[in-house]
Amino acid sequence: MHYDARTRDHGLKHDPFKALVAPRPIGWIGSIDAQGRANLAPYSFFNAVSDRPPMVMFSSGGHKDSLRNIEASGEFTCSLATWTLRDAINLSSAAVAHGVDEFRLAGLQAAASSFVEAPRVAAAPAALECRLWKMLPLPAPAGRAEAAYTVVFGEVVGVYIDDAFIVDGMVHTGAMQPIARMGYMEYSVVSPESVFRLNRPLATADGLSAELPARWDGVYR
């Protein structure tokens, strides 16, 4: 099949777009409002966009509490979404009333951050502490006057990692079992068994060709 994505004229039961751009990391965004009340919500349009400086982004559909809080405070956290916390992550996505603390709603303990005021999820094995760089409204979809989504860019100013997941000076990501969003109501999970390594290709001296090393040489590039 081949369809016009602008009109969503695909003829399927549901829009397949999210099922094709998958798996997507989940940004579990923590923020505080002007009254100091905590907010926590998962966003599946999330990713890292730079490492120098380290920066992340997430995209919010509609002007939700996370967006309002970050506009006012200029900061947020992103806790790692994992297999063991999957039910809490799902519960924290509920469209509850403004001012409801999703940490409490999901039975989670909030931990103080070191570089920002917004809290992180204490049980998460890793978290990023971020300061707002820019908010960017995306183009309005056909037939609408206003943007449906706003992209939030944040510079990572602090990183928390549970020492139990640092092995030989490197983070054992597979052991953390991060989960990712797919299409429809589907998710996926990373495990130690699903992680594999590939050497980067080596370009020839003249730059006209490249070759793949036979096996992992243990060198991080």
Integer Cα distance of 81 and 179 in angstroms: 6
DSSP 2: -
Task: Name the strand (E) or helix (H) holding 86.
Answer: helix 86-91
User: Can you tell me the mean pLDDT for 193-200?
Assistant: 88
Average pLDDT over residues 119-135: 98
Q: What pLDDT sits at residue 5?
A: 86
Q: What is the mean pLDDT of residues 189-216?
A: 88
Cα–Cα distance for residue pair 146/135, rounded to 1 Å: 15
- DSSP-derived 3-state class of residue 197: coil
DSSP-based three-state secondary structure for 72: helix
The pTM of the full predicted model, rounded to 2 decimals, is: 0.92
Rounded (10°) CA dihedral 64, 65, 70, 73: 150
For range 74-93, the mean pLDDT = 98
Which H helix or E strand runs over 104? Answer: helix 102-105
Residue type, 128: L
Q: How confident is the model at residue 181 (pLDDT cuts 50, 70, 90)?
A: very high
107 token code pair: 């039975």
Residue ranges and CATH numbers for the domains of the chain are 17-196 (2.30.110.10)
Question: Six-digit token pair at 158?
Answer: 């602090």
Phi/psi for 54 (5° steps) reads -70, 125
For the chain, first and last CA: distance in Å? 39
Tracing tokens 């990712």 back to the chain, one arrives at: 180
pLDDT at 8: 83
pLDDT over 90 percentage in the chain: 75
Which backbone phi and psi does 33 adopt, to 5 degrees? -95, -175
What integer pLDDT is reported at residue 176 of this predicted model? 98
Question: Is it the case that residue 139 has pLDDT exceeding 70?
Answer: yes
Instruction: Please say whether the beta carbons of 39 and 71 come within 8 A.
Output: no
pLDDT band for 135, please (50, 70, 90 cuts).
Answer: very high
145 pLDDT band, cuts 50/70/90, is low
- Ramachandran angles phi, psi of 176, nearest 5°: -75, -20
The whole-number pLDDT of residue 11 equals 86
- Mean pLDDT, range 115-137, rounded to an integer: 98
Q: Which of these ranges, 14-23, 66-75, 164-173, has the smallest mean pLDDT?
A: 14-23
Task: Write out pLDDT tens, residues 16-70.
Answer: 888 889 999 999 999 999 999 999 999 999 999 999 999 999 999 988 899 999 9
Tell me how far apart the alpha carbons of residues 64 and 43 are, in angstroms, rounded to a whole number: 11
